[in-house]
């Protein structure tokens, strides 16, 4: 039911499945593919945490030098994804650090099968979390890997993140330098390097458009910036299906936030409405119902346009989502610096 128009029809089956085999980590995890599509992000976090406890038993038995490491990391990855939609920074960072710790370099150096091509794509997931929560100085200080040939995708993503961090802190010349380093790093990523169902090069096309959009925005080239950001949305929509999606923070969250900052309220409203799945503009699997970030942006759009009756209804849902965050939420993206009072 994951890719169907009605994933909610599998909720009861998932509830039955997740407790069927107490030490079956993957069975605890699998129903969260339905949970995430239904906006049940706390279940995503909690049940993937339970799955990792079962996974740890297998890790103690077999060690990390096997393909099951991919399945263990998938559970951490899912936990990170749910935490990002919930606005739970501490949970997100814990999961991201567990991803990094799951991959000893010796595993990535295995050439047959080519483990780096299958697994390295998970390493930079922490950068998505740091961008999500606007941890700009942590990103600026983030170290590059010593072996940049092995960690080629990670290297490119670090430069992407640093460019955004410098732009968000008003240091556009340094952001430009990171853009140039990103361009060089991308040339070192082989076609064979995958992140789930997408090539890392296709994922980096989203990163490229996002990065250039945010840098041009802070340069004051708003029309150019929005062209890049709309391109990022289109590129994200064009990625092959996977859960979590290969791009962890929906590009619409940045586009909507910066549209609002520039007063393009009607377009921002449409962006948030699509992301929340409140219209039929996106396939069901591309919608992120009840996520706190788009609820916040959508509510602001409604208030600013005087749509008070609908705003009141959305405010109730926003308040429920805000109750689970562990950080203040002032906008759908930390890239927006001017927020509503």
What integer pLDDT is reported at residue 3 of this predicted model?
A: 87
Average pLDDT over residues 198-225: 98
195 forms beta bridges with 198
What integer pLDDT is reported at residue 19 of this predicted model?
A: 86
List, in order, residues 6 or more apart from 135 with CB less than 8 Å away.
Answer: none
What integer pLDDT is reported at residue 28 of this predicted model?
A: 95
Tokens coding 12: 């009861």
Q: Are 215 and 167 in contact (CB under 8 A)?
A: yes
Domain locations along the chain? 1-102
pLDDT averaged over every residue in the chain:
96
149-168: burial string, b at 16+ Cβ within 10 Å, e else: ebbbbbbbbbbbbbbbbbbb
What integer pLDDT is reported at residue 67 of this predicted model?
A: 81
**pLDDT tens track for 311-328:** 999 999 999 999 999 999
Average pLDDT over residues 205-210: 98
d(CA 82, CA 313): 24
- Residue 340 predicted with pLDDT over 90: no
Q: Are 2 and 243 in contact (CB under 8 A)?
A: yes
Query: Following DSSP, what letter does each residue of 20-37 receive, concatenated?
Result: TSTT-HHHHHTTHHHHHH
Cβ neighbours of 56 (radius 10 Å): 12
**pLDDT tens track for 30-68:** 999 999 999 999 999 999 999 999 999 999 999 998 888
> Which residue, chain included where needed, has tokens 């409203």?
269
257 versus 1: the higher-pLDDT residue is 257
What integer pLDDT is reported at residue 68 of this predicted model?
A: 86
The helix (run of H) or strand (run of E) holding residue 232 is: helix 222-237
3-state secondary structure of 195: strand
pLDDT band at 341 (very low <50, low <70, confident <90, very high): low
d(CA 145, CA 120): 12
Q: Are 116 and 150 in contact (CB under 8 A)?
A: yes
List, in order, residues 6 or more apart from 138 with CB less than 8 Å away.
Answer: 130
Going 65 to 18 to 195 to 97, the CA torsion angle's sign is: negative
Cβ neighbours of 67 (radius 10 Å): 12
Q: Does domain 1-102 have CATH number 1.25.40?
A: yes
What integer pLDDT is reported at residue 120 of this predicted model?
A: 97
**pLDDT tens track for 252-304:** 999 999 999 999 999 999 999 999 999 999 999 999 999 999 999 999 999 99
**pLDDT tens track for 110-130:** 999 999 999 999 999 999 999
Single pTM value for the model: 0.97
CA 340 to chain centre: 24
d(CA 338, CA 303): 17
Average pLDDT over residues 82-103: 97
């Amino acid at each position: 039911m994951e890719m169907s128009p009605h994933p909610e029809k599998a909720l009861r089956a998932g509830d039955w499945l997740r407790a069927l085999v107490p030490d079956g980590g993957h069975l605890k995890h699998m129903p969260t593919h339905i949970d995430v599509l239904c906006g049940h992000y706390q279940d995503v976090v909690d049940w993937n945490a339970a799955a990792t406890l079962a996974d740890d038993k297998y890790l103690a038995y077999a060690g990390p030098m096997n393909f099951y490491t991919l399945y263990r990391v998938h559970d951490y990855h899912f936990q990170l994804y749910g935490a990002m939609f919930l606005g739970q920074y501490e949970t997100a960072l814990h999961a991201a650090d567990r991803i990094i710790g799951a991959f000893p370099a010796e595993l990535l150096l295995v050439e047959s099968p080519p483990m780096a091509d299958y697994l390295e794509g998970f390493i930079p997931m922490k950068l998505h979390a740091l961008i999500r929560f606007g941890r700009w100085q942590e990103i600026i200080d983030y170290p590059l890997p010593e072996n940049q040939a092995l960690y080629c995708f990670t290297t490119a993503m670090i430069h992407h993140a640093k460019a955004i961090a410098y732009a968000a802190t008003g240091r556009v010349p340094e952001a430009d330098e990171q853009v140039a380093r990103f361009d060089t790093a991308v040339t070192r990523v082989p076609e064979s390097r995958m992140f789930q169902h997408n090539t890392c090069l296709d994922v980096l096309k989203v990163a490229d458009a996002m990065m250039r959009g945010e840098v041009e925005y802070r340069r004051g080239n708003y029309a150019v910036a929005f062209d890049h950001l709309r391109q990022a949305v289109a590129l994200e929509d064009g990625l092959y299906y996977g859960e979590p999606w290969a791009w962890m923070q929906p590009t619409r969250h940045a586009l909507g936030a910066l549209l609002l900052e520039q007063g393009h309220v009607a377009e921002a409203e449409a962006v948030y409405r699509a992301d929340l799945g409140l219209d039929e503009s996106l396939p069901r699997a591309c919608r992120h119902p009840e996520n706190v970030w788009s609820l916040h942006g959508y509510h602001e759009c409604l208030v600013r346009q005087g749509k008070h009756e609908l705003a009141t209804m959305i405010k109730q849902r926003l308040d429920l989502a805000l109750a689970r965050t562990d950080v203040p939420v002032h906008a759908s993206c930390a890239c927006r610096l001017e927020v509503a009072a």
